[in-house]
Structure 1
Amino acid sequence: MNIKKHIPNLITLINLFCGCIAVVYISEANYLMAFYMVCLGIFFDFFDGFFARLFKVSSPLGLQLDSLADMVTSGVAPGYVMYSLFANSAHELGTHPFIPFLGFIVTLGSCYRLANFNIDTRQTDSFIGLPTPANSLFILSLPLVIEYSDSLMMLEILTNQWILLVITLLSAYILNAEIPLFSLKIKKFNFKDNALQMSFLLISFVILLLLQYMAIPLIIAFYVLLSVVNNLFLKK
């Protein structure tokens, strides 16, 4: 029995398990633990592919398992958070009980991206559209910004249903947009070939130290913006 071939799939299932626990924490409004569990799931999501390549046991089954696990950790969990934010926000869109379910548009956008990613041969060394783990971190950080930020302006912004609707629709769009985003994989350990990646990571680290949870949505937005600027320079 070749144990090595099962290790990546086991790691993928741990990612799924973390996603399931995160969903439970979201249902209990424990957004901090939900955030940590999603982070842990994303950590395992990175290493399932790493070990599959290391052991040379990549398989169609592993590819499908990876997307199915991500669907919970980076699809259902952020959609549920958006649902909760809508439900707990002021009623600018009205008091209809259906309004909070608009948050699951994030889940629909994530599902479409994950399915499309499996058949898109262009996304081997970089991404087209925002990866679902990055989007999940963005969404999961929003209730933490509300809880831990001292800014009344941020509180008003993130409890406004119109703004939540814009974030939801923008999230679903950017997941599937035809926007090339640079990969954070560092293949050669020198600054010249990885200037963009290293600069981004360094700036992100500084922002994270200064702003803590509030830094997370800013870092994701910075990643997209930096990719767009980089694309413009590459075209020249």
Structure 2
Amino acid sequence: MSKRSSVAANGGGVSKDVTDPTEDKQKVLLSTETGHFSLIRAMHLADLITELNGLCGIMSVFSSMRYLLGDPTSLGNLYASLAFLPLGLFFDFFDGKVARWRKKSSMMGQELDSLADLISFGVSPAVVAFAIGMRTPLDHLCLAFFVLCGLTRLARFNVTATAVPKDSTGKALYFEGTPIPTSLGLDAMMAYWVSQGWIHAAIPGGVWFADTILEVHPVVVIFMIHGCLMTSKTLHVPKP
């Protein structure tokens, strides 16, 4: 007997609600099959596309690190770190389309989606913010708060996805809190700052309480607000 799987294609962005009679088969393959490539053989095509989303997030982090190790006036790696994030969103949407086309989804796919989204839309934007100059200890705590909000939002989605009211087709009517890919708004904001040269000492808002333990760039509050919106229980965002 087949069962309905609600799989998060973008951390709460798109649900892959498809009837998948092969889900149990994949679980059996993952738990019993042996061999060096048994994990790869058990993955669906949509799962491999989800991995590309995670790859984009990882490459964004590496590009930020390469920028930090190089000439701060050479912005190529910084622009690359920003560009990888919307590319990750493309794969995030595409894996859901492939899952529905092939009528294959899985619990493993759900977990991959959330983990990839945490890298691409949680960790990576925070690393870019660090790269452009938000580097005080208090900045670090605020950016960590943002990432942890994304982590919590994804965990809640995985637990409550089946409890959210559905329409006649089985599609969830709304998101609880803003989906984590909406952090691309932060990505766009930072890209604009980079294009205007508003980085490092020129970050908008400057720095408060300089040379004290409370030294902080006030713009990190934007990241914290976004984190609070992601974890909101009462904010219901209608699905398109």
Instruction: Point out the structure with the larger strand share.
Output: 2
Q: Which residue of 2 aligns with 1:26?
A: 64
- Choose 170-179 or 123-132, whichever is displaced more: 123-132
- Choose 171-180 or 4-13, whichever is displaced more: 4-13
Q: Which residue of 2 aligns with 1:183?
A: 239
Check whether the contact 2:139–2:217 (CA below 8 A) recurs between aligned residues. Answer: no
Check whether the contact 1:22–1:38 (CA below 8 A) recurs between aligned residues. Answer: yes
TM-score by length of 2: 0.63
Of the candidates 145, 159, 183, which is equivalent to residue 119 of structure 1? 159
* 1:147 CA displacement: 2.1
Query: In the comparison of the two structures, how many residue pairs are matched?
Result: 173
Classify 1:52/1:171 alpha carbon distance in 2 versus 1 (closer, same or farther; 3 Å). Answer: same
* 1:17 CA displacement: 0.8
Question: Aligned pair 1:66/2:113, yes or no?
Answer: yes
Q: Which residue of 1 aligns with 2:138?
A: 99
CA displacement 1:15-34 (0-9 Å, x = unmatched): 11111101111223433211
1:113 counterpart letter in structure 2: R
Q: Which residue of 1 aligns with 2:218?
A: 163
1:181 counterpart letter in structure 2: V
- Tell me the SS of whatever aligns to 1:145: helix
Classify 1:157/1:53 alpha carbon distance in 2 versus 1 (closer, same or farther; 3 Å). Answer: same
- Structure 1 or 2, whichever has the larger Rg, is 2
- Tell me the SS of whatever aligns to 1:57: coil
1:174 counterpart letter in structure 2: L
Q: Which residue of 1 aligns with 2:186?
A: 139
Check whether the contact 1:63–1:118 (CA below 8 A) recurs between aligned residues. Answer: yes
- Structure 1 alignment gaps of length 5 or more: 89-96, 185-236
Check whether the contact 1:15–1:41 (CA below 8 A) recurs between aligned residues. Answer: yes
Check whether the contact 1:142–1:158 (CA below 8 A) recurs between aligned residues. Answer: no
1:6 counterpart letter in structure 2: H
Question: Aligned pair 1:109/2:165, yes or no?
Answer: no
Check whether the contact 1:85–1:159 (CA below 8 A) recurs between aligned residues. Answer: no
Check whether the contact 1:78–1:106 (CA below 8 A) recurs between aligned residues. Answer: no
Quick one: distance in 2 between partners of 1:182 and 1:158?
33
Quick one: distance in 2 between partners of 1:65 and 1:156?
35
Identity of aligned residues (%): 28
Quick one: distance in 1 between partners of 2:91 and 2:147?
20
* 1:7 CA displacement: 0.6
TM-score by length of 1: 0.64
* 1:142 CA displacement: 2.8
- Structure 2 alignment gaps of length 5 or more: 1-24, 27-40, 68-76, 166-171, 208-215
Check whether the contact 2:139–2:220 (CA below 8 A) recurs between aligned residues. Answer: no
CA displacement 1:151-200 (0-9 Å, x = unmatched): 9xxx663544453232122011011112111223xxxxxxxxxxxxxxxx
Q: Which residue of 1 aligns with 2:98?
A: 51
Q: Which residue of 1 aligns with 2:128?
A: 81
Classify 1:150/1:10 alpha carbon distance in 2 versus 1 (closer, same or farther; 3 Å). Answer: closer
Classify 1:87/1:156 alpha carbon distance in 2 versus 1 (closer, same or farther; 3 Å). Answer: closer
CA displacement 1:98-146 (0-9 Å, x = unmatched): 22312222111110111111112317242121111112x1222233221
Quick one: distance in 2 between partners of 1:162 and 1:5?
43
Check whether the contact 1:158–1:164 (CA below 8 A) recurs between aligned residues. Answer: yes
Check whether the contact 2:49–2:95 (CA below 8 A) recurs between aligned residues. Answer: yes
Check whether the contact 1:12–1:65 (CA below 8 A) recurs between aligned residues. Answer: yes
Quick one: distance in 2 between partners of 1:58 and 1:126?
21
Classify 1:140/1:158 alpha carbon distance in 2 versus 1 (closer, same or farther; 3 Å). Answer: farther
Check whether the contact 1:31–1:143 (CA below 8 A) recurs between aligned residues. Answer: no
- Choose 9-18 or 161-170, whichever is displaced more: 161-170
